[in-house]
Amino acid sequence: MFDRIPTRRDLVGCRGEVLARRGFVVSAESIAEAAAAARPAPGRSLAETPVADDVAGALGDPSLRHLLRTAEVRAAVGRTLLSVRLPPEAWEEVLAQRGRDPVRHHHALATAAVTARLLAVGAGASRVVPEVAAAAMLHDFGMRHVSPRTGRAAQPLRAEDAREVAEHPFLGAWHLARLLGPHPAVEAALAHHWCKGQGYPDLARPPSRATEVVAVASAFAALTQDRSYRSDAFDPRGAVDVLVAEAGAGRFDPSTVKLLVHALRGGQGEARAVRFGRARHVQVPLVNHHAPISAPARSRL
Ligand SMILES: [Fe+2]
Ligand SMILES: [Fe+2]
């Protein structure tokens, strides 16, 4: 079982404070304990933070033009993102991460935008949406504890580097539990690479639908944006074909991938009516060195 990790180094917050010593065990139990012990300060909305300056740029990214095709849709998604509330300490971490890794910060906002749109199409406006958009924004939070060399290394990764990357769900979930207490972001961080049990880490039970939405949104955002390990980004059709194939292989929830296709087509009518077509000839990157991180067979404990 890959269900716990000993930390490789001290876990340090953005002010330099040690959060946990090297060797501390992160598991479902320690994540739950951190959430129970957390006393988050009252939240501030994203609109009140410097991250607000990044929202228009994220929504205007060409990779999202099909999903956010009208000014009205873009404005609605923008309102959801601006209403995301987090405690000041969490915003400090987000801003520190923005300075360290702008590409991942952009990925976080794009994933939140895609998630917000999918939720709006799937469920209409609901009070839970800003919380799930927050979860989407924070899903890769654990990458801040992965060494920058590994986080930006060319693909395919060496086995040891891949193992370190595979630890980011634990690190993100534990750190977010400490900052936010019980919050959908904790599960989204822990389970966004679960892939219906074919990914990592091993979980005692399947994650919520909200986390499935974040996982599909993160994959779509990553496929449609430039990455150092491939010559071009996928266009939305190419990205959808990848995700449909993944759903066919049992790695993604088919109904969530259908929701994405439905949203890309404008979101009118029923997502359930979407039928996956057969393989088409679509634009794919000429050069692509991406290799999926395979799930570690078991924990080192
Ligand atoms: Fe991730
Ligand atoms: Fe991601």
Q: What residue segments make up the domains of the chain, in order of their start?
A: 4-273
For 92-115, what is the mean pLDDT?
96
CA of 139 to the centre of ligand 2 (A): 6
- pLDDT of the residue at 64: 96
Helix runs in 124-272, H state only:
129-137, 148-151, 159-165, 168-180, 184-191, 209-224, 236-248, 254-264
CA of 167 to the centre of ligand 1 (A): 9
List CB contacts of 79: < 8 A, sequence separation 6 or more: none
CA of 37 to the centre of ligand 2 (A): 27
Q: How crowded is residue 138: how many other Cβ atoms within 10 Å of its Cβ? A: 31
CA of 283 to the centre of ligand 1 (A): 25
φ, ψ for residue 90 (rounded to 5)?
A: -70, -40
Per-residue confidence band for 278, with pLDDT thresholds at 50, 70 and 90: low
Per-residue confidence band for 267, with pLDDT thresholds at 50, 70 and 90: confident
Q: What is the pLDDT of residues 173-208, one digit of tens each?
A: 999 999 999 999 999 999 999 999 999 999 999 999
Per-residue confidence band for 47, with pLDDT thresholds at 50, 70 and 90: very high
Q: What is the pLDDT of residues 247-265, one digit of tens each?
A: 999 999 999 999 999 999 9
Beta-carbon neighbours within 5 Å of ion ligand 1: 140
Instruction: Answer yes or no: is pLDDT of 243 > 80.
Output: yes
Task: Please give the CATH superfamily to which domain 4-273 belongs.
Answer: Hypothetical protein af1432 (1.10.3210.10)
> Which ligand has an atom closest to residue 108 CA?
2
> Which ligand has an atom closest to residue 219 CA?
2
CA of 72 to the centre of ligand 1 (A): 30
Per-residue confidence band for 228, with pLDDT thresholds at 50, 70 and 90: confident
CA of 168 to the centre of ligand 1 (A): 7
Per-residue confidence band for 231, with pLDDT thresholds at 50, 70 and 90: confident
List CB contacts of 111: < 8 A, sequence separation 6 or more: 136, 137, 139, 140, 214, 217, 218, 221
> Which ligand has an atom closest to residue 112 CA?
2
CA of 285 to the centre of ligand 1 (A): 21
